[in-house]
Chains A and B, each alone.
Chain A
Amino acid sequence: MVNKMGEIKLQPIIQVKNLTKRYNKAQQLAVNNISFDVQPGEFFAFLGPNGAGKTTTISILTTTLSKTSGDITIAGYNINNQSKDIRQNVGIVFQNPSLDLYLTAEENIRFHVSLYGDYQYKPTYRLMPQEYKSLVTQLADFLDIGEDLFKPLRTFSGGMKRKLEIIRSLMHKPKILFLDEPTQGLDAVSRRDLWGYLRKVSKEQKTTIFLTTHYIEEAEFADRVCIVNHGQIAFLGTPAEMKNRLMDNYLLLDAENRSLLASELRPFKTEITPDGKFKVHFDEQTPQHIFSQIKTSLLQLEIHTPSLEEAYMNLIDSKNLEAVQ
């Protein structure tokens, strides 16, 4: 598709229009009339607090939960009557482990690839094709569980099970990979390695990644971020836009001679706090530039640069939500 500017615009790989979900016997809507698109190859982060509607949305998009209303197209297929085609094109790492603990790690993977029709099921690993063996070994070594591949899952830690699920979800080379809080239970090193790998997969295989996470810092890897709260979209944009829009950088100043300080701060965007101190926003200037204009002897000087997490916490606070919307 070519737009008026002559740019090639790809058909979104995920199209969600006015999606609403109300669980049986529930008073409130779990998802309240949300709409968004995801482009092919995009790394899309879906953020929100517990109960925001993230898992509900991902369950509907992956066809395991019915919607109450709305239109959804995934990989060109309509969710109403082409759910099997959708399932063929997506991979999923669920929030709760969906592994068979009676089987070994490799048996879980073999079961998955056979169910997806990638390889004919064989009763032993030895009988599986070389291509399968190489892929399993490569992925397992990368995520550091190569030595445990043939051990029963009962001996696996939570982090190891998570890694196994990620390996399994990538085995059938899906167009879209849905990750529902995939790094839950992983240590910092494993999380870093995993993100490195997912970025590589996203880039090399042009896999679209749809991620839900509690960790705001993980959203910084994303091309776009969608923040949901109480079933509604609170923010949709790039991580840079999110920072610009939500980060409130300011200096907190106070002096014995407040009237002199006020006159010096007149050129800057300043507001007075309830206790009479001066809040000087420095979105455009640097703190250095503001200091250079002040000659008054200061009693207090604080530089406030909130983290992305603080900005996120502010956003999901219901009072701020209304302001952003």
Chain B
Amino acid sequence: MSTKRELNAVGVIGAREIVRFFKDWKSSLVFSFMFPVLFLGILGGSIAENLSSGLGYNYLQFALIGMVANTLVMNTMMSVTSLVEDRENDFTQEIFVAPVSRYSIILGKIVGGTVTSILQLFAFVIVAVVMGIPVGLPIIGWVLLLAPIICISGGALGALIASIFSSSPKTADRGVIMIAFAQMFLSGAIIPINNSTGILSVLAHAMPMTYLIDLLRGVIYQGTPAYSSIVLYSPAFDLIVVAIISVAFFIVGTTLFVRGERNR
């Protein structure tokens, strides 16, 4: 009974995120296209034309996979940090006074964020097709298969950010932007990091998204000549790191956020 109720709560909170996504479909559509056009079309296109010669692999496909993982992480992260906005509108009172576990609340946010993030991937496919980037069914299949893992990890990071930057929605937004950009440029989403050394290498390996992107590229490039030039670790190792980080972030983030709500 209790498990059923908790699962129902996860579904309800997730459903709210999805309903809100479709209610605000105009801005959802604009944002879905803005990201791939800006970072894949303009930034990625520019790097591909000017700097990618001699890499030995298709840079735009490399960047596409990185940006897909980045989008999944960022969108789910923002879905969870919207709890801070909910609190500003006093809506968290309604959620946190319900007889459900706090973990179910955050998990519901992650589920909702996962679904809406995956829905936004169609924009990447369209931009990739327009730009002539090879996107075969195996790539789409692997992305869809690993998307829940990537999103759950992004959501767990969002829970941690929400607990640290919980003073106002503005602070939370700044926290998300700061983390998102640091991850995007340091994790190898758009700029290869295989040859990074010193502090840049340390920072790259400190980014949770490094292992998520490496996991996705690891399974996609498995058995191809580009594998050794692109992939850092084996998919199994990446998966273990991702699992440990996600569980830790989820538990610590949720506990701190709830404690911050009650212990005023």
By a beta-carbon cutoff of 8 Å, the part of chain A in contact with chain B is 23-24, 62-66, 84-85, 87-88, 90, 92, 94, 96-103, 107, 111-112, 114-117, 120-121, 123
What is the minimal beta-carbon distance from B70 to any residue of chain A, in angstroms? 26
Our pick among B5, B16, B101, B261 for the contact of A64 (Cβ within 8 Å) is: B261
- Among B71-79, B88-96, B237-245, the stretch in contact with A: B88-96
A114 touches B99 (CB 8 A): no
Q: Chain A's interface: helix, strand, loop or mixed, by majority?
A: loop
Task: Tell me the total A-B contact number using a CB cutoff of 8 A.
Answer: 83
Q: Are B99 and A111 in contact (CB under 8 A)?
A: no
Residue B15 at the chain A interface, CB threshold 8 Å: yes
20 contacts between A and B (CB under 8 A): A24-B264, A63-B97, A64-B93, A64-B96, A65-B264, A66-B262, A66-B264, A98-B93, A99-B91, A100-B89, A102-B19, A102-B23, A103-B19, A103-B20, A112-B94, A114-B11, A115-B13, A115-B100, A116-B98, A117-B4
Q: Is B219 an interface residue (CB 8 A)?
A: no
With A99-B91, A102-B24, A107-B19 in contact, do A117 and B8 touch (Cβ < 8 Å)?
A: yes
* Contact yes or no, A96 B90, CB < 8 A: yes
Cα separation A94 to B89 with both chains bound (whole Å): 12
A121 and B15 contact, Cβ closer than 8 Å, known pairs A23-B264, A66-B262:
yes
With a cutoff of 8 Å between Cβ atoms, the chain B residues found around residue A103 in the complex are 16, 19-20, 23
Task: List chain B residues, Cβ under 8 A from A115.
Answer: 9, 12-13, 95, 98, 100
In this complex, what residue of A is CB-closest to B104? A115
Report the minimal beta-carbon distance from B132 to chain A, rounded to whole angstroms. Answer: 38
How far, in whole Å, are A111 and B93 apart by their CA atoms in the complex? 14
B91 engages A98 (CB within 8 Å) = yes
* B-to-A contact residues, CB < 8 Å: 4-5, 8-9, 11-13, 15-16, 19-20, 23-24, 89-101, 261-264
Q: Identify 20 new A-B residue pairs, CB closer than 8 A, beyond the known A84-B99, A112-B94.
A: A23-B264, A24-B263, A64-B96, A64-B262, A65-B262, A87-B98, A94-B90, A96-B90, A100-B20, A102-B23, A103-B16, A103-B23, A111-B12, A114-B9, A114-B12, A115-B12, A116-B99, A120-B8, A121-B8, A121-B15
Distance between Cα atoms of A66 and B258 in the complex (Å): 11
